[in-house]
Structures are given as C-alpha cells and as structure tokens.
Amino acid sequence: MMSSPISSPGKPPSPCSAQSSPAHWFEHEIFRPRITNSIIRHALLTAFLILVCHAFFNAALLLHPLTWMSTTLGGLFGPSSWLYLALVLGSTVLLGWLVHRHVSTVPFVPQSALSVLWGVVEVPVLLSLGAHLTLGALLTRSLMGIWGGSYGVLTQPCLDGSEFRCIDESHILLVQSGAFMGGFLWFGFHFRNGNLLHFPPIRQHGSSQLRSRLAGIFQASFIEVILNMRWFCFFYIVYGHRLAVTVSQLSRLSLLNGEESVFRYLWHQMVVLAHAIFLDTFVVAAIKLGIEIHNISLMKPVMFPVDPNQAPSLVTAMKSKNPSLMKYLAYMDFKNLSTFKSARRQQLFELSQPGGHPRKWTQVSQACVSEIEEFMGTLQNAAQVVSSSATNAQTKESVAPISSNLRYRFHGGGADNKESKANGVGVSSDKSLKKITNLWDKLVQRFSKNKLFTANPELSLRNAFAQCQIVIWAIEGLSQMIAASVLEDDFGVVQRNLSEILTLLLNLQQTVERYKGLSVSCKQAPANKIRDIQLKQELRSAVKTSIYRITNAFGSHVSAISVPAEFQQKLDNYTRFQE
C-alpha cells in the first residue's frame, strides 16, 4: 500500500542532475512525492472510513440490501456531499502541509515549562495551531454534513412547522469540540513528539504497519477524546456559549430555544455529548491516521548508490546537514546494506580504479567516525553543563546563607547602628530597604528553584542522547562491515582504520556509560515522552553488541589490533565475553 514508484527500497533513486544539490534532489524526488502519495492515500482511506460509518448508520435498512446500498452510496456521493468531500480532501492536503513543514527526526525534550511557553509563541507554531483548529472544525463540519442527522445543519425551524429558522447551538458546539480536539492534537504534535519520525525496529511493509496500528489508533483516539472532553465542557461553559451568541447576532437569527423540562434538557445534552464524542473520535483518529501514513511513507528506506561518482551518493547523503531526513535515511541505508546486502558490501570494499585506493570505505567510515565524535563532543558539553550547574548549586547552598547573614550583620551591626543612632530618620528607611532586599533575595531564590522557569541540567544530557539515532546506525553499520570483512574484504581495506574504529567504539562506550545518568526504565512513562531514554538504552546496547561483534568475528586475532593501554583490559574482557 505504501510503495512509492520513486523511492522503493529495491530500486536506486533516479540520479540528480549536475546542477541540483542533493538537498534539492531529495526534496523534489523523495520528500514531496512521498507527501503527495500519502495525501492521496489518506484521502482515500478517510473516504472509505466515512463510507463504512455511513453504511453502519443505515444498518437498519440491512433487511433491504439494495435500498441500504443505494442509500449509503447516495448519501456519500450525492450532490449535497460533494462540497463536504472536497472539504475532507482539503483537510488532508492541509495535514500534508503540516507534516511537510514540521516533521522532525529528533525527539523533543522540554527543558522547562518556560521553554515550552516560548515555543508556543513562535510564528510557525502559531500558524500550525491555526491549521490544527481549522482542521478539526473542518473535518467535524464535513462529517456532520455527509452523515446528516439532527445536528447536520446550522439552522433549524424555530418551532415545529414554523417557517422561521433559528441557530442550532448544538451544531456550533459540535464544530467547536472538533476544533478543540484539533488544538489538543496540535499540542501533542509539537510538544509531545507527535511530529517525530519513530523509526521502527524492523522493516515491514507499509500496509502491514498501518494495519497493525489501526485498531490502536482508534482506541487511543477514543480514550484521548473521553479525557479531553472534560476540559472542553469547562471551556464551553466559560467561553463556548459566547460564540453561539456572536453567530446569532451576526446572522440576525435567534438561538433555538431549549427544552422545556429539565429531564428533556439533560437528555438533549447527553445526546449532544455522545455525538461530540463519536465525531471527535473519528476526527482525531483520521488526523492521527494521516500522520501515521505520512510517517510510514517518509521512513521508507531509500537505496543510495555506493559509488561516489553518482550524484546522490551514499557518502554525500551521509555528510549532508540539511535536510536531516536525507541524512537519517542514508545512515539507515548504510546499516541495511551492511547487514543484509553482501553485493553492496562488496562495492564498499572495492578499490578505486585507477589508483587502487579504498576511497569508498574510507569516505563512509570517516563520515561515521566524525558523526560519532561529534556526538561524543555534544555529550561531553552537556555533561559539563550538568557538572557546572551542580557546582553552582552547591556553591549557592553553601554561600547563600553566609552571605545573607553577613549582609544582615553588615546592615544590622557596627557602623549602621551608630549611624542610625546618630540619624534617627534613616533608621526606618534602612529597615524597609533591608526588608525589600531580603524579599527580593527570597523571590529570586524561589523562582530560580521553580521548575517552571529553570531548565533541569539533566535535560541537557537527555537532549544530547535524543540525537543518537544516527550514531546507533553508524556503529551498527561499521561493526557489521568489519565483521563481514573477515571473508569479504579481499584487499584488506578495513584493516587500515580498524584500530581507530575499535578505539572509538571503546571510547564511546566509556563516555556513554559515564554520562548515562540514572537508568530510567522505559516503561515508566508514555512512549512519546521518553523516546530519548529509549534511544539512550538502544545506544548502550548497540555499542556493546558492536564491540562484541567485532571481537567475535576476529576471535583471537583481536589481540593483534593496537588499542590504547587503557582499553586493553576491556578488550580482553570482550574477547572472553566477560563484559
């Protein structure tokens, strides 16, 4: 279902011209076609789901199958539904635009509540909020239009049989609830890693992935809607009714009168609430489904040519900084080729002609090494931030009471006392100044300790670990290549920098273990909040496995590889499976 004619994993991508940059090629040959493809699939799937629901609503006609089918199809494809279907299509395009603009490869780790608030007021994020609100309202209104029902139109006859029409407040409430859920989705999209490309641990067909997640998406949507409905009820009681009044004033139509008896009124509200829950579940599920389709499509592997002479080569993509997705897909391709494709591995082990230099392996391995070194640098910088903040905190704790006491003594004792005695007027002003200073000190201290405004220094380490997906693929790819080189590397190209890579892996393991922090179990929090912790654990496991893979492949010959003396003992442990 998710196959793409341009970037199927089995086919190399079409070469880009000499003028176009790899980023330009990626944008036009991979990214945009995949987005377009996903929009079409999402629109078709949404239309199908609407049709299924529509058929379900008319299930009472099942005893008359022909009537049932004609009613179902007529309701969906009748002239009155065209506009709404067009709106649904428009909403899928809008969602595609959102994904195109905001898709992310690195998990978001909120530094503090203030940083989240600061992120909210950025213009693209505000635009995204508007788009999400529109999306939710648009889809809800379209569904109401297609499925009809008592709340399908804005106006209703004021009385039974009356020619005068009034505004139906329930209709506005339902549309508002859709927009409200869109707002919640916006928050999850930007601040709970809703826009994150979560690369799956195994390669499956896109349709299989989507099929396996379909039921989960609807279930999660239902629970989310149920939980958020309480906030919507609160919101509607405070602000929502004003919108209905405003619409009524603008249209110069009066609001529909409520039910006469309390029981009928409550029953009416319950029915509206049930409608809202059903519609919102569908809307939320449809949006999540769309994001899932886009993600699956964007994460499909791309097979980059190993030959550096071809324009979008593997090395070029691995070294590119922008777009980040191309870099991710290149590293994923490197890991896949090193694991499963012996023919492509052989290409990497080849020597250049003429010249006989191992350019391909050198370039690829250097790209991986520089990526690993860069990550280690990021990690060490983050660790420095943590240690410096810890030192500052200790200093504050040890110095602050003394300084305040000193200040108190300074203000309260000795010369001050003499001055106050000499000048009776200055005593009260000094005391008030002292109080203000103390109050200011306390305020600063309190706000500096408040999580709302202060970034937790540990989070900088989490932020660093959040970027390690590429490093995981790099070390897995390198270790697989090195293990395969025992039999496949006819020219011994891997031997040239084997010592360097092995030392780097040992160093990386030491660095990661030093800064891993408190080991947090991954199942203690929802997956979208702890993706960085999952990546950290995957990295720890991958480094260890990679070193074992190399030592296991080379066996006793590992002792002939020169590594610094500090790592020699560790390498011996790996050889004896003692780590």
Is 423 an interacting residue with respect to another protein (CB under 8 A)?
Answer: no
The whole-angstrom separation of Cα 334 and Cα 472 is 11
Angle CA(444)–CA(448)–CA(453) in degrees, nearest 5?
Answer: 120
Least separation, in Å, of the C-beta of 292 and another protein? Answer: 14
Helix (H) or strand (E) holding 156: strand 155-157
The whole-angstrom separation of Cα 473 and Cα 479 is 10
Least separation, in Å, of the C-beta of 578 and another protein? Answer: 5
Cβ closest to another protein, residue 25 vs residue 465: 465
Cβ closest to another protein, residue 172 vs residue 368: 368
Least separation, in Å, of the C-beta of 487 and another protein? Answer: 6
Of 41, 171, 294, 335, the one binding another protein (CB under 8 A) is 335
Which of these, 195, 214, 212, 194, lies nearest to 204 by C-alpha position?
A: 212
Least separation, in Å, of the C-beta of 312 and another protein? Answer: 23
Of 549, 563, 567, 571, the one binding another protein (CB under 8 A) is 549
Is 579 an interacting residue with respect to another protein (CB under 8 A)?
Answer: yes
Is 523 an interacting residue with respect to another protein (CB under 8 A)?
Answer: yes
Cβ closest to another protein, residue 205 vs residue 442: 205
Least separation, in Å, of the C-beta of 527 and another protein? Answer: 7
Structure tokens at 147: 């499925």
DSSP-assigned beta bridge partners for residue 196: 104
**Amino acid identity of 271?**
V
Least separation, in Å, of the C-beta of 574 and another protein? Answer: 8
Stretch that binds another protein, among 109-117, 369-377, 410-418, 521-529 (CB under 8 A): 521-529
Cβ closest to another protein, residue 262 vs residue 487: 487
Is 486 an interacting residue with respect to another protein (CB under 8 A)?
Answer: yes
Least separation, in Å, of the C-beta of 417 and another protein? Answer: 59
Q: Residue with structure tokens 């309260």?
A: 412
**Amino acid identity of 285?**
A
Of 487, 518, 560, 565, the one binding another protein (CB under 8 A) is 487
Cβ closest to another protein, residue 204 vs residue 456: 204
Is 483 an interacting residue with respect to another protein (CB under 8 A)?
Answer: yes
Structure tokens at 478: 């390198």
Stretch that binds another protein, among 115-123, 322-330, 444-452, 519-527 (CB under 8 A): 519-527
Distant-in-sequence, close-in-space partners of 474: CB < 8 Å, separation ≥ 6: 331, 334, 335, 368, 371, 372
Of 82, 231, 239, 340, the one binding another protein (CB under 8 A) is 340
Cβ closest to another protein, residue 458 vs residue 488: 488
Stretch that binds another protein, among 179-187, 318-326, 490-498, 530-538 (CB under 8 A): 530-538
> What HEC string does 175-187 produce?
HHHHHHHHHHHHH
Cβ closest to another protein, residue 195 vs residue 338: 338
Least separation, in Å, of the C-beta of 484 and another protein? Answer: 9
Binding mask of the shown chain, residues 71 to 110, with x at each position contacting another protein by CB under 8 A? ----------------------------------------
Structure tokens at 222: 């239902």
Is 542 an interacting residue with respect to another protein (CB under 8 A)?
Answer: yes
Q: Residue with structure tokens 């540990």?
A: 458
Cβ closest to another protein, residue 32 vs residue 198: 198
The whole-angstrom separation of Cα 317 and Cα 322 is 9
Query: Is 35 in contact with 96 (CB distance < 8 Å)?
Result: yes
Burial of 452 (0-12, 13-18, 19+ CB in 10 A): exposed
Is 443 an interacting residue with respect to another protein (CB under 8 A)?
Answer: no
Is 520 an interacting residue with respect to another protein (CB under 8 A)?
Answer: no
CA quadruple 442, 448, 453, 456: dihedral sign? negative
The whole-angstrom separation of Cα 268 and Cα 170 is 9
Query: Is 315 in contact with 367 (CB distance < 8 Å)?
Result: yes
- Please tell me the number of Cα atoms within 13 Å of 133 on its side-chain side: 8
CA quadruple 131, 137, 142, 147: dihedral, nearest 10: 150
Angle, helix 498-515 to helix 531-554, in steps of 10 degrees: 140
Least separation, in Å, of the C-beta of 343 and another protein? Answer: 8
CB atoms near residue 81 (< 10 Å)? 20
Which of these, 471, 477, 472, lies nearest to 341 by C-alpha position?
A: 477
CB atoms near residue 569 (< 10 Å)? 9
Q: H-type helices in 58-205, by residue range? A: 65-77, 79-102, 113-120, 123-147, 169-191
171-230 binders of another protein (CB under 8 A) = 200-205, 208, 211-212
Least separation, in Å, of the C-beta of 2 and another protein? Answer: 10
Is 19 an interacting residue with respect to another protein (CB under 8 A)?
Answer: no
The whole-angstrom separation of Cα 272 and Cα 323 is 46
Of 235, 545, 570, 572, the one binding another protein (CB under 8 A) is 545
Is 569 an interacting residue with respect to another protein (CB under 8 A)?
Answer: no
Least separation, in Å, of the C-beta of 126 and another protein? Answer: 33
Binding mask of the shown chain, residues 458 to 477, with x at each position contacting another protein by CB under 8 A? ------------------x-
Residues near another protein, by CB under 8 A: 200-205, 208, 211-212, 335, 339-342, 476, 480, 483, 486-487, 521-523, 527, 534-535, 537-538, 540-542, 544-545, 548-549, 552-555, 573, 576-579
